[in-house]
Amino acid sequence: MSESPHPSISVLHKRWVKLENEYHELAVEIGSARARGADLEPMREGQTRLLLQINTLVAEIRDAPATTTEDFLALLDVALDHELDLASDIAFYGPADYPMIARLFRALARKVPDFEFNSLRRWLSSPGQFEQLMGDATPLESEGRTSGQSN
C-alpha cells in the first residue's frame, strides 16, 4: 500500500481550523488593543502572516484528494468560509431562515459525529445560534418521519 504524497483534506482541515481560530482570536485582540490606544502594527503584521498561511493552505485544500466523508465535510467547511457567504448569512438572518440547509448540516454531522463545522461555529457565535442550526442529533430514520416523509 503506497502512501499519498499529499495529505488528505481532513488532515489539512485540522491545520486550517487552528489557523482560522488564531486569526479570529487575533482580530478580537486587535479590537481590544485599538480601544486601549495600543500600537497595532505588530499585531497587524501577525494577522497578515496568518492570512497568507491560511490562503496557502486553502489552495492546498482545493487540490488535495478527497476520498472519505470527513474529507468532503472538511471541503464544505472551508468552502463555507472562503467561497460562500452562507455562514455569515445564517448568522445575520438566523438559523430559522435556513431550514433545508440546517437539515443537511444535521444529517452530515450525524454521518461523522466527531466533525465540527468550524466556519459555522465561528460565525454563529451568539448564544444558542450554532445549537439552533445543528439541532438535536436525532437518528436519521426519524428525520423522514418527522418531516412527513416515509422511508
For residues 77 and 112, the answer to whether their CB atoms sit within 8 Å is no
Residue-wise pLDDT for 40-97, tens only, equals 999 999 999 999 999 999 999 999 999 999 999 999 999 998 888 888 898 889 888 9
Q: Which range has highest mean pLDDT (22-36, 80-94, 98-112, 117-131)?
A: 22-36
Contacts with 51 (C-beta within 8 Å, 6 or more apart), sequence order: 23
Residue of 57, 59, 62 whose CA lies nearest to 23: 57
Sign of CA dihedral 67, 73, 77, 83: positive
Domain ranges of the chain: 1-65, 84-144
Residue-wise pLDDT for 70-79, tens only, equals 999 999 999 9
- Type of residue at 9: I
